[in-house]
Structure 1
Amino acid sequence: MSVSLTSVARAGLTLAVTSVLALGLGACGGTTKGSGASSSAPAVKGSADPNAPTKNGLTIAFLPKAVNNPYFTVADGGGKKALEALGETYKEVGTSSGTDTAGQVSYVNSLTQQKVHGIAVSAQDPGALCTALKQAMENGIKVVTYDSDTNAACRQLFISQASAEALGRTQVQLLAKQIGGKGKIAVLSAAQTATNQNTWIDFMKDELKKPDYKDIQLVKVAYGNDDAQTSFQQTQGLIQQYPDLAGIISPTTVGIKAAAQYLSGSEYKGKVKLTGLGIPNDMRAYVKDGTVQGFELWDPSKLGALAAYAATALASGQISGAEGQTFKAGDLGSFTVGANGVVLLGDPTVFDAANIDQFDF
């Protein structure tokens, strides 16, 4: 998750520990102002024939934010499985650090020299890879970003986990069901400056304006700064300030884990409902002991698979990255390229007692 998903030794777009770090690399924690990708047009090159056959002998390389990271191991594994099903060649390269932008640049340059057909990269920085990625595209290599984008002009497509609107609204919908549609609720966010968190919260507030939620009152937005201890203390403070609190939404993997830790050891376990964006391996124990009924995130294996299918479609000339084009992604179905070359995986996955053991990340 750079979900505040970004680094996570509890930092930046962060999560919290190894798995948190994993997600921190992707989407939950929070992107601070100015760190998001630009809205410049994607690098659409060449014509496209939707009926063109899928080329054989393609090599698609995955460059995650960090290798040996649980989140990206699952995501890239999904890409590998998709490419093997297509009969193409998969490879993965990358650094062990989620902040080694120079290392990512070096790997892009190396893949360009190797003349791979496509690169799927989760960018550590929106601008640092641009020169190298543009050089790769000039050499005919198709570039797809996944989980974390570059500036739009530096790739053909961005495979996005889910829309900000879907992430914001569905978290409210989840909690509303858990609290029976009435009561006081609070939000435990990451940093106050985290733009993705603030965007999601804006959609939460808009969702709460609907008549369906007339009996739900948002009493406070607290900030745990994607730090486990701070988030734990903020949860405790919310309960003390609002002893009749019905539920908490924490749209950050660090925050939801810390909140669950507090609630699980308190008299409010099972009484104050908790949902948000979390990692299955972090939250499994809290789901099984009844602290948490359900939370959400996307399935990273599907995200990686979609990146693989998109890169293959680009390399096969079936799409060029222009808005409105469609391509097939195996069992995932058909997808349409949106504005600025963004392809949405879809609605987030809800994890609960019925399915959480099916996921290992």
Structure 2
Amino acid sequence: MGQRLGVDVIYTGPSTADASEQVRILEDMISRGVSAIAVAPNDAAAVTPVLIKARNAGIAVLDWDTPADESVVDYSVQQVDSTVYARHMYDLLVQNMGESGDYAVVTGGLSAENLNIWIDEGLEYAKVKYPGLTLVTQRIPSDEKQQLAYQKTLDLLKAYPNLKGILGYSTPAPIGVAQAVQEKGLQSRIAVVGVALPTDSGPYLEDGSLDVATLWDPGKLGALTVYVASELLNGRAIADGQDVPGVGRITVRGKVIVMGPPSDFTKENYKDYTF
């Protein structure tokens, strides 16, 4: 998308979910005099001061994938409608474990705003729609690390032997969860649903240690973010229902731009995708 629009895209970030390192990188982008910054905050509050600094320097500011403080961004580019996605996760879980029983939530970082929104809205939805579900413990952080999700899931399986389902949020978490379920041979007893890439999910979808992965095309999300930044810098408005080349029709509500509905990846269809 950058080449198509004549935009020089710098894609960078910390190697771990480190908010302070992310702030340092943003400071560097300001010093380099970039025209626009699009950030997926590890911690929304931590990046607010540096995003204000960017705006004061005349830099367009967007968030993508994960919301920042709404007051400091020009646009918030989101992959899916948060409420729709939060509910969809629980619907998928119930389809695979039934409407009653013990379940757990394994997430990425506890300060990741998008993950918290999906979990919080999903919990509220489940209280009404699926009162037979019982969350056995608080959401379990894995710090965006598959190995940590795997280790914590092993602990979880030991502590709660009647567990029937696990929801995994952040792309490494469901894979780590499925790895633990696979190792213990619990595919037929525990349903696992999570936010994961189809290529990563394949081995676990094949043997049922991961029942369904649900996500969006991250390449399209990146392309949409670059497109929005370019339109903003050129003084052109983004319209609801606009057909973005290579992305499709988008939804616009004020500052919030939503790419579209998620895709579900199963044993039957995951090979149809290349990301």
Residue pair 2:249, 2:259 contacting (<8 A) in 1 also: no
4+ runs deviating over 4 angstroms:
227-230, 358-361
Q: Which residue of 2 is the match for residue 276 of structure 1?
A: 194
Question: Which digits, 9 at most, give the CA deviation of each residue in 1:142-165, with x for residues without a partner?
Answer: 543322444444432110122332
1:133-282 alignment runs, 5 A limit: 133-137=55-59, 142-179=60-97, 181-190=98-107, 193-194=110-111, 196=113, 197-211=115-129, 213=130, 216-226=132-142, 228=146, 231-282=149-200
Q: What SS does the corresponding residue of 2:57 show, helix, strand or coil?
A: helix
Q: In the alignment, what sits opposite 1:121?
A: 38
Is residue 298 from structure 1 mapped to residue 199 from structure 2 by the alignment? no
Distance verdict in 2 for CA 1:274–1:132, change over 3 Å: same
- The Cα shift of 1:173 comes to 0.7
CA distance in 1, matches of 2:204, 2:99: 23
Q: Which has the larger radius of gyration?
A: 1
Deviation at 1:100, TM superposition (A): 4.5
In the alignment, what sits opposite 2:245? 330
Aligned length: 262
Other structure's SS at 1:128 match: helix
1:104 aligned onto 2:20:
no
Equivalent residues of 1:280, 1:351 under 8 A apart: yes
Alpha-carbon distance change, 313 to 133 in structure 1, aligned in 2, over 3 angstroms? same
Conservation of the 8 A alpha-carbon contact between 2:86 and 2:121: yes
Residue aligning to 2:260 = 346
Q: TM-score, normalised by structure 1?
A: 0.61
Distance 1:233 1:149, change over 3 A: closer
Show CA shifts across 1:103-152 (max 9, x none).
3333344344xxx5xx3522552331332243234xxxx54332244444
CA distance in structure 2 between the aligned counterparts of 1:194 and 1:144, rounded to whole angstroms: 19
Deviation of 1:313 after TM superposition, in Å, equals 3.1
Aligned equivalents of 2:102, 2:109: Cα separation in 1:
18
Mapped contact 2:66–2:112 kept (Cα < 8 A): no
- Percent of aligned pairs with the same amino acid: 22
- Cα distance in structure 2, aligned partners of 1:204 and 1:328: 30
1:128–1:285 CA distance, 2 compared to 1 (3 A): same
Is the Cα contact below 8 Å between 2:243 and 2:249 reproduced in 1?
A: yes
Question: Please, what TM-score do these two structures have when normalized by structure 2?
Answer: 0.78
Displacement after TM superposition at 1:198 (Å): 4.2
Q: Which moved more, 1:161-170 or 1:100-109?
A: 100-109
Instruction: State the Cα RMSD in Å.
Output: 3.2
Displacement of 1:230: 5.1
* Partner Cα separation in structure 1 for residue 196 and residue 226 of structure 2: 25
Instruction: Report if the CA contact (8 A) 1:273-1:293 is conserved.
Output: yes
C-alpha displacement of 1:241: 4.6
Flag structure 2 segments of 5+ consecutive residues without an equivalent. Answer: 16-20, 42-46
Q: Say if 1:300 and 1:120 are closer, same or farther in 2 by CA, change over 3 A.
A: farther
Query: What secondary structure does 2:136 align onto?
Result: strand
What letter matches 2:117 in structure 1? Answer: T
Contact (CA 8 Å) 1:224, 1:230: kept in 2 or not? no
Q: Do the aligned residues in 2 keep the contact of 1:94 with 1:107 (CA within 8 Å)?
A: no
The one-letter code of the counterpart of 1:349 is: S
Partner Cα distance (2:219, 2:128) in 1: 34
Distance 1:354 1:108 in 2: 46
The structure carrying a bigger helix percent of its residues is: 2
